[in-house]
Amino acid sequence: MFLRSALVILLLPGLAWSQTLAGRVLEDHTGAPLASANVKVSRPGDRFLAADLETDRDGRFQAAGLPAGAYSLEISKPNFAGTKLTATLSSAGANLTARLIKRGVIAGHVRDLQGQPIAGAVVMVMPKSRGSEALRSFGRTSTASTNVDTRGEYRIHNLPPGEYVAVVSYGASTRAMGSSGRASTPPNLGSGFLFYPSNSKPDTLSVTGGEEYRNIDFTIVTGAAYTVSGKVELPAPNSWFILGMMRTDQPGLAVAVAESAADGTFKFTGLPAASYRLVAATTARARNGQGFLLAETPVFGFTRVDIAGQNVEGIVVTPDAARTVIFNLRNAPGCPAAAQVELTPLEDWGSNLYRAVNVAAGKAASTSGLAPARYALTASGAGPVCYLESEAILDLAEGAPSAPVDLVFAPAATIRGKLNTGTKPTGAFAVALISSQDATAVEFATLDAQARFSFTGLKPGRYRMGPVPAGQKVPDIGKMFEFEVRGGSNAEIELAVAAEEAR
Amino acid sequence: MKTLLLLTAGFALAQAPDAQVPIPAKGSISGMVRDFDTGAPVAGADISASNPPARPVGGVTDAQGRFTLSNIDAGRIQLSANAPRIQGAGFPPLARKFVTLGQGQQVESIEVQVRTIAQISGVVTDQNDQPVPDISVFLVAREYQLGELRYIFAAPARTDDQGKYTLNSAPGRTYLLLATRSPGRADAISSAPADPRLRRPSVVPTYYPGVDTVAGAQAITLQSGDKRENLNIKLQRAASLCAEGSLSATGAPGEVTFNYAEASPHSGSSGDGGLFVGSNSGKTEADGKVRICDLHPGQYRFQVYDTPTALGTPATFGTGLATVTDRDGAIVFSSLPKVKVPGEMIWAEEPPASFTIPANSNLIISPLTRAPFREETRATPLQLAPFTMDLFGDDYTVQRPTLPAGVYLKDITYGDKSVLRAPFHPGSAVGDAKLKVILAHDGGTLNAHVADKEGKPMADQFVILLPANITSEVTFADAAISGQTDQNGSWTSASLAPGKYYVLASRTPFDRTPETIGGLWRARVKAKDIEIAPKARVDVTIEPIAIQ
C-alpha cells in the first residue's frame, strides 16, 4: 500500500501562446508557489531532454520554441515527493500546474536533567509497522536517523507520509558500536534508549504532507545503573561475539551492545534495572552503521538476565548452532512464480541479522545461518497483481519449524470506478482510499477525462473510500463509506460528489 | 613494595658486588593543560609523552587541568595533548610540546596549551533566496606546496533540508569557505537538452560570501572554541555546457572509467591532515563515447582509467586539465600505461666509512591531488642498490625519508630537476630519467637557544631556518627547516647542508599558509645570518620576533 506521490491538475488549454510550454509548481498543502523546483521535460523516444528547467520565485517555469506534440514532465524538489505528468503541446501552447507534497520533519533537542546537550546520541525515527508489532528493530528498515550535535539539536527530514515514533539511543548503542567499533558509556549517563515522550507511552507522529514537528525534545533522566558481566563459552578459539542486552518488553532496540574479549569474557556497564534478554552472535569483526556483520557460519546464544538493584556477575552464555528454515513458494494462478523474501529482524542483536532469500515455486529454498530471533517476512516481486498472504512473522527463538514454511502469493484486488463531479471539472476532485486496519495507508487516485479512477494491488480487508477536493491531504473519514474488499476481486464503484460541493 | 625493593638490591649486590650496572632511573613530567586563547585550565584533556623505544605514556588531566606522566626514559620527549573529544564534533587539534628530560628527573610546572575545536555554521541559498539542501561546504586551506600556492579541501559539511551546514574545524588557521554541488554519478551520455538555452544554469563553486573566484573570497580565521554563525553563502550560477567526445584506454576504443572536478581546490594534505573529496564519476559507452554536461566555464581536471576488475589499481591511467569556454566543446583523451622509473640512492661525495639505513626508512611517493589507488603507492625501502618503481603519469609528492644522525638529504632529482620543491611527474624527465636520492654526510648542526631580552630561556618557540639561496616566497615553504624549543629554550637541528642560512624564532607555529610564509618572508631582514661549515656545530642565541 502506498501513497500516490502528488495530485496533479491539468488545465488544457490554458492561457498560452504559440509553442510555449509553461506552468507553475505549488506546494500541495498551502498552495504557495514553489521556487527552485526542477522540471525535466522530455518527448517520448528522444535521447535528450527537450528542456531542463527551474522554477522562479513565483513557482513559474517556461520553455519556448518547442515543437508541438506529446511531452512528459518530471517535477522534483528536495524534501518534496516528486511527480510526473504528461501534456500535449498544441499550437496554442500548454499551461500546467503541479502540486508537490512536502515530506515531514521531526526535530528537537536531547539533553540531560541539567539541560546539558547529549552530543553524539542517535535519534531514530521508526515507522510503525502493521499488525501487533509496535516497532520494527533498528535494522534494515526505512529508519531515518541522525546524531545529536554539540548544541544538543537534531533534525530528521525528508520523511515520507506515514506514522512514526521517535527514539533516542545513547551510550553503547548498536549504531555507535557499528559506526565507531567502540562503545563508550559515560558513567553519568549510562546506556539505553528513550522513546518520545516516554518508553511506556510513545507518541505517534503522523506525517501526511508538510508536517514539521519542531519540539520533539528528549530529557534523559539517569537512575541507578548496574553492570552485567560473564563469559561466552567459545565454540572455537578466535571466536568473537557481539552481545546485546534487550529489554524483554522492547526488543526492538538494544539497551547496550558489547564485544567479547579473546577469552570470551564480556562486560556491560550503565544498565538500568529491568528484565533483559542477553543475546550473542559470532561476528566477522566487520561492521557498518547497522551493526556488526555476522561470521560466515554464525553461532548464536541467548539467556535471560534480571537486574534488580545490584550488579550481575558470572553469566554464562552457551552458544548454539544457527537455525535453518526451508521456504516453499505457493503461488496462486496468475501470481509470480519467483520472488525475493526479506527477513527483517524484530530484535536488535547488535549484529546485522537481515537476510534476503530468493524463492521459486516448486523449489524448496533452504536458508541456514538464522538467529534464534523473531523476523518479519516480506516479499518483493509479488505486486501489483498479488500480495503475500501467509503469516508475516517468523519466530525462531524456540527453534526452527520442522516443516517447510509456506509463502503464499494470493491475487490482489482491483477497484475501478467513476466519480460524478456535477458541474465541476474532473480536475477539481480526487478519490481517496484508506485501509480500515491501517489508517496511515492513504491512497489517492486522480480522475481521467471520463472521470474514471482505479486502485490496484489491494490486500483483502475493510476500506473506506470517498471523493476529496484536489489538494486536500487529509480526507474526512466521516464522509467516506466503508466496504469489504475480497481477495482477488474486481469491483466497479460509482461515486458522486455531495450536491453542495458539486456546484 | 618495600620488601621487593630490598630483595632486588640484595640480588644485584650478590651478582656483581664491585661492578654495579645501574638501571637507568625513569623520570616524570607534570604540569597543566590550558586553553591556548583563554588560558583557562582544561579538564579531561588527553596527554601523552613519547618514550621511544617503549610505548608512549598517556594520561588525562584532572578537574583542575593537572597531569603527571611518569616512568619516562631520559631524552627529548614530545608531549602531545588535545582538548577532550566531544562526540560528533570531529577531532580536536593536537598540540605538541618538547621537554628535555634527564635521567630520573622530575620535570614540573610544564604548561601545554591546547585549542578547542571551532564551529562555523550558515545557510546556503540560491538566486531565488531559497535554501539549497545537499550542497557540500568545505573549508579550503591555502598552502604553498611544491612551488605553487594551492587551494586544498579541508573540513567538509553538507547542507540539510533548510540549507544549513555546520562545520567543525581545527582553530588557529585561516581558511576560505566554499559551497559546491556534491559530486555524483555521471551518465556516459548526459540527457541535458541539446539547446543550451533550455538547460538549467550550472552551480558554480562559490566562496563565502558569494563569489566564484578566490580573489573576492573572504578569509576566515578561527580561534579556539569559536562558534561563528550566519556565514551564509549565495550560490553563483553560470551557463550549463556540454563536452562531447571519446575517452579511451591507451588509444584503444572501449569502456573506460572517468571522473572530473574543478581543477581548484583539489584533494590532498594540508596542515595536520588531509581530505580526499570524490569527483563526478562514471563509465563511458562501450565504444568510449561520452557526453558530459552541467559544466560551467572554467578549468576542470579530468581523469580516465581502464575499469579495474577488482578494487585494485587500474593498468592504465590518464589525467589532464580541460578548459570549458562559453560554449559546448569536444573532449578526446586517453589513458596510458604505467611508467617505469628507475631509481637509486647515491652519495654526493665519498661514501662514509660506515652507514646503516634505518629499518623504517622508506621512499614514500603519493599522488598530489587525488587519493591513491589501492596499493598504488607502496613504500619503497631505502637501499643502496638500484630499484624500479611503476607509476602513472601524474603529479606526485616525494616524502623526505628518515635518515640516520650525521646524514642529510641533499636532494631528490628526476631528469636533473629537483622534486623536493616541484611535483614529481613520472615520464616528464628530460635528461637522466632516474629518480636519484642524493645523500651527504658533510653536514653541520645548529644549536639554537631562544631567550628574551633579559636572557630568560623561552619554551615553545619555533626556530625557522631558511637557506640564503632561496629567492622567492613560493619556494620558501618547501625549503624552510623548523623546530620547536624545549622548556630550556633549546632546539638542536638534525644534520644540515653546509651553507648560509637566515635563522629566526617566533611564537607563531611554522606552517605553509600565505599568512605565515608572507610574514616570515618579510621578517627575514630581521633574521640572523649564520654560516654552517661542513661538520661544524654552530651555537646561536635568538630573541623571538613577532610575525605579522
Chain B residues within 8 A of A57 when measuring between CB atoms: 128-129
pLDDT for the residue numbered A4: 34
CA distance A148 to chain B (A): 7
Q: Cell 579530468, residue? A: B302
A466: β partners: A432
Band of residue A143 on the pLDDT scale cut at 50, 70, 90: low
**E strand spans, A352-392:** 355-360, 365-370, 374-380, 386-388
pLDDT for the residue numbered A145: 83
Q: How many Cβ pairs closer than 8 A exist between chain A and B? A: 69
Q: What are phi and psi of B36, to 5 degrees?
A: -60, -40
Q: Cell 544538543, residue? A: A152
Cβ contact B478:B421 at 8 Å: yes
> A200 touching B, CB under 8 A?
no
CB atoms within 10 A of CB B209: 14
pTM: 0.79
> B160 touching A, CB under 8 A?
yes
Chain A residues within 8 A of B119 when measuring between CB atoms: 150
Q: Which of A49, A63, A147 lies at the smallest CB-CB distance from B191? A: A49
The chain A residue lying nearest B89, using CA atoms, is: A150
> B166 touching A, CB under 8 A?
yes
The chain B residue lying nearest A55, using CA atoms, is: B128
pLDDT for the residue numbered B236: 96
> Quick one: residue B404, left, alpha or beta (phi over 0 = left, psi -120 to 50 = alpha)?
beta
Question: Cell numbers at residue A443, please?
Answer: 491512497
Mutate to test the interface with B, among A106, A149, A151, A169 (most CBs of B within 10 A): A149
> Which DSSP category does A177 fall into?
H
Question: By C-alpha distance, which of B530, B529, B537, B540 is closest to B461?
Answer: B540
Band of residue A474 on the pLDDT scale cut at 50, 70, 90: low
> B60 touching A, CB under 8 A?
no
> B128 touching A, CB under 8 A?
yes
Neighbouring C-alpha atoms within 13 Å toward the C-beta of A186: 14
The chain A residue lying nearest B126, using CA atoms, is: A36
A250: β partners: A247
> What pLDDT, in 10s, does the model give residues A293-314?
999 899 999 999 999 989 999 9
Question: Cell numbers at residue B271, please?
Answer: 596542515
> B192 touching A, CB under 8 A?
yes
CA distance A335 to chain B (A): 36
CA distance A401 to chain B (A): 41
Query: Tens-digit pLDDT profile for chain B (548 aa)?
Result: 333 333 333 333 334 444 455 677 889 999 999 998 889 999 889 999 988 778 889 898 998 999 999 999 999 999 999 988 766 667 788 899 999 999 989 999 999 999 988 889 999 999 999 999 999 999 999 999 999 999 999 989 999 989 999 998 888 888 999 999 999 999 999 999 999 999 999 999 999 999 999 999 999 998 888 889 999 999 999 999 999 999 998 878 889 999 999 999 999 988 878 889 989 999 999 999 999 999 999 999 999 998 766 667 888 999 999 999 999 999 998 999 999 999 999 999 888 888 888 877 888 899 999 988 877 776 788 888 888 888 999 999 998 888 888 999 999 999 888 999 999 999 988 777 899 999 999 999 999 999 999 999 999 999 999 999 988 888 889 999 999 999 999 999 999 999 999 999 998 888 999 999 999 999 988 999 999 999 999 999 999 998 87
- First-to-final CA distance of chain B: 57
Question: Cell numbers at residue B263, please?
Answer: 581543477
The chain B residue lying nearest A106, using CA atoms, is: B161
Integer Cα distance of B330 and B324 in angstroms: 10
> A182 touching B, CB under 8 A?
no
Integer Cα distance of B200 and B114 in angstroms: 48
Put simply, the answer to whether A149 touches B198 (Cβ < 8 Å) is no
Integer Cα distance of A307 and A107 in angstroms: 33
Integer Cα distance of B25 and B76 in angstroms: 15
Question: By C-alpha distance, which of A390, A411, A372, A412 is closest to A327?
Answer: A390
- Give the type of residue at B59: G
Secondary structure (3-state) at A471: coil
> Which DSSP category does B521 fall into?
H
CA distance B308 to chain A (A): 24
Integer Cα distance of A74 and B36 in angstroms: 54
Residue-wise burial string across B336-373, b where 16 or more C-beta atoms lie within 10 A, e elsewhere? bbbbebebebeeeeeeeeeeebeeebbbebbbbbbeeb
Share of chain A above pLDDT 90, in %: 32
Chain A residues within 8 A of B87 when measuring between CB atoms: 119-120, 147, 184
Cβ contact A162:A127 at 8 Å: yes
Integer Cα distance of A184 and A173 in angstroms: 9
Integer Cα distance of B262 and B247 in angstroms: 18
Secondary structure (3-state) at A428: helix
For CA atoms B259, B261, B263, B268, the dihedral sign is negative
Question: Cell numbers at residue B147, please?
Answer: 612551488
Integer Cα distance of B289 and A460 in angstroms: 51
Cβ contact A427:A440 at 8 Å: no
- Give the type of residue at A437: Q
Chain B residues within 8 A of A63 when measuring between CB atoms: 198
B105: β partners: none
- Give the type of residue at B326: D
Cβ contact A46:B192 at 8 Å: no
CB atoms within 10 A of CB B151: 23
Q: What are phi and psi of B2, to 5 degrees?
A: -60, -45
Chain B residues within 8 A of A78 when measuring between CB atoms: 133-134, 161
Q: What is the 3-state secondary structure (H, E, C) of B307-336?
A: CCCCCCCCCEEEEEEEEECCCCEEEEEEEE
Q: Output the DSSP codes for B217-261.
A: PPPEEPPTT-EE----EEPEEE--EEEEEEEEETTB-S--EEEEE
Integer Cα distance of B7 and B16 in angstroms: 15
Cβ contact A123:A132 at 8 Å: no
User: What strands lie across the sheet with A452-458, from one edge to the other?
Assistant: A452-458, A413-420, A490-496
> B89 touching A, CB under 8 A?
yes
Put simply, the answer to whether A54 touches B201 (Cβ < 8 Å) is yes
For CA atoms B12, B16, B17, B23, the dihedral sign is negative
> Quick one: residue B393, left, alpha or beta (phi over 0 = left, psi -120 to 50 = alpha)?
beta
Integer Cα distance of B90 and B169 in angstroms: 8
Burial class (CB in 10 A: 0-12, 13-18, 19+), A313: exposed
pLDDT for the residue numbered B17: 44
Put simply, the answer to whether A147 touches B88 (Cβ < 8 Å) is yes
Chain B residues within 8 A of A51 when measuring between CB atoms: 193, 195, 198-199
Question: By C-alpha distance, which of A92, A305, A38, A165 is closest to B134?
Answer: A38
The chain A residue lying nearest B165, using CA atoms, is: A149
- Give the type of residue at B172: G
CB atoms within 10 A of CB B20: 11
User: What strands lie across the sheet with B66-72, from one edge to the other?
Assistant: B66-72, B27-35, B106-114
Put simply, the answer to whether B128 touches A51 (Cβ < 8 Å) is no
Q: What ipTM, to 2 d.p.?
A: 0.82
> What pLDDT, in 10s, does the model give residues A83-110?
888 888 876 666 788 888 888 999 999 9
Integer Cα distance of A99 and B394 in angstroms: 50
Integer Cα distance of A26 and A59 in angstroms: 7
A181: β partners: none
Cβ contact B27:B103 at 8 Å: yes
Integer Cα distance of B467 and B184 in angstroms: 46
> What average pLDDT does the segment A414-439 reach?
80
Question: Cell numbers at residue A258, please?
Answer: 558489547
Put simply, the answer to whether A105 touches B134 (Cβ < 8 Å) is no
Residue A440 pLDDT greater than 70, yes or no: no
> B191 touching A, CB under 8 A?
yes
Mutate to test the interface with A, among B129, B130, B240, B293 (most CBs of A within 10 A): B130
Question: Which chain B residues in 198-227 lie under 8 Å from chain A, judged by CB atoms?
Answer: 198-201
Cβ contact A303:A309 at 8 Å: no
Cβ contact A182:A137 at 8 Å: no
Integer Cα distance of A66 and A96 in angstroms: 15
Q: Which of A65, A78, A148 lies at the smallest CB-CB distance from B133? A: A78
Integer Cα distance of A299 and A277 in angstroms: 17
> A36 touching B, CB under 8 A?
yes
CA distance A350 to chain B (A): 20
pLDDT for the residue numbered B547: 82
> A107 touching B, CB under 8 A?
no
Question: By C-alpha distance, which of A459, A450, A371 is closest to A417?
Answer: A450
Integer Cα distance of A279 and A242 in angstroms: 8
Cβ contact A408:A388 at 8 Å: yes
Chain B residues within 8 A of A149 when measuring between CB atoms: 88-89, 166
The chain B residue lying nearest A179, using CA atoms, is: B88
Secondary structure (3-state) at B277: coil
Cβ contact B495:B402 at 8 Å: no
Question: Which chain A residues in 71-90 lie under 8 Å from chain B, judged by CB atoms?
Answer: 78-79
Q: What is the largest CA-CA distance in chain B?
A: 98
Cβ contact B479:B513 at 8 Å: no
Q: Is the peptide bond before A197 cis (omega within 30 degrees of 0)?
A: yes
Chain A residues within 8 A of B201 when measuring between CB atoms: 54
CA distance B166 to chain A (A): 9
The chain A residue lying nearest B119, using CA atoms, is: A150
Integer Cα distance of A446 and A427 in angstroms: 8
Question: Cell numbers at residue B191, please?
Answer: 540527457
Put simply, the answer to whether B200 touches A149 (Cβ < 8 Å) is no
